[in-house]
Amino acid sequence: MTGPLVLGIETSCDETAVGIVRGRTLLANIISSSVEEHARFGGVVPEIASRAHLEAMQSVIAEALTQAKISLNDLDAIGVTAGPGLIGALLVGTSAASGLALALDKPLYGVNHLSSHIAVDALGEDDELEPAIGLLVSGGHSSILKVADLASDVLVLGSTIDDAAGEAFDKIARLLELDFPGGPAIDRLAQSGNPAAIDFPRGLTHANDLGEHLYDFSFSGLKTAVSRYLQQTPAAIRADVAASFQEAVVDVLLTKAIGAAKANGFESLIIAGGVAANSRLRSEAARRCESAKIRLRTPPAALCTDNGAMVAALTSLMVQGGQEGSPVGFGADSSSGLERLLWR
């Protein structure tokens, strides 16, 4: 194993996560989730998330070091999610990382949460990282990215103009009286449903939408269509509703992402983010990419949701690329986009 030894901290939402990598080799990935504390509210409560991060941080770092069989003094750099995310949650992570960097006299890297999701794909491979289209699908973000260089050159081609895919899954899950988070619950229910049972709308796919929103997403109309269908169909088969809803989301995501790869002459598509763990998205992406002769790259399902490994992976790439780090005590940014890959 070669390359810098990096610890990454992720606290953008409800997971307190720490990952350790050496170069592009994953050594540890520890996650403490507060999702059960939020479930009764049907969504993440920022104050609860922040308190959970404070309580879990030291033990998660200690467990990651034990799993990686290293000490803090062995580290070459420390990375942390600086945005976007819940501001209180982010501040817990950035404060912890700044304290470690100051105490250990190690370089500190405040990195972008969105780019980190894509960068986790670099782990476990020795091949040169080629340019790719990135499809980032999570609870708060649905974006198509032009990834020339994971650590320094990521361009947004399109994004959601209302609900992200993950938000839509959560909202439809509530309508179907399923558990939170909604993505895994709908995925499980859809296994026994017919994805062609109901023809739900595909937002921003009509010819008159593509001029202005070629690579953008909209799932609010789909959410409304499902709600109306349930109101008008008291005897609706819930598994069919879940499968048909899921199929509509998957169809739009892949049609636009593969279209972007073809239009930009890219031979690879990276799908990342929490929704990338969805079984239908993964299987349909494999089928469509094979047909289009596009190389599909998807992180293991365990690395799709928020985790520290992705932060460490991006930080490692930045260190190897010779980029200077962030100042100790830099500020987090809850609403930053990919215009900021590294906080300086």
Q: Residue for token digits 């293991």?
A: 300
Task: Indicate whether 278 and 142 sit together in one domain.
Answer: yes
Does 337 fall in a domain?
Answer: no
CATH of the domain at 184: 3.30.420.40
Task: Indicate whether 260 and 313 sit together in one domain.
Answer: no
Task: Indicate whether 37 and 106 sit together in one domain.
Answer: yes
Does 338 fall in a domain?
Answer: no
Helix (H, G, I), strand (E, B), or coil: what is residue 155? strand
pLDDT digits (tens, 9 = 90+) for 165-181: 999 999 999 999 999 89
Does 62 fall in a domain?
Answer: yes
Does 341 fall in a domain?
Answer: no
Q: Residue for token digits 């340019």?
A: 131
Domain that holds residue 260: 132-298
Task: Indicate whether 247 and 106 sit together in one domain.
Answer: no
- Tell how strand 25-33 and strand 5-10 pair up: unpaired
pLDDT digits (tens, 9 = 90+) for 7-35: 999 999 999 999 999 999 999 999 999 87
CA–CA distance, 278 with 61 (Å, rounded to integer): 29
Structure confidence at residue 343 (pLDDT): 96
pLDDT digits (tens, 9 = 90+) for 112-157: 999 999 999 999 877 778 999 999 998 788 999 999 999 999 999 9
Does 342 fall in a domain?
Answer: no
Task: Indicate whether 154 and 266 sit together in one domain.
Answer: yes
The yes-or-no verdict on residue 41 having pLDDT over 90 is no
Task: Indicate whether 112 and 215 sit together in one domain.
Answer: no
Task: Indicate whether 145 and 94 sit together in one domain.
Answer: no
What pTM did the predictor assign? 0.94
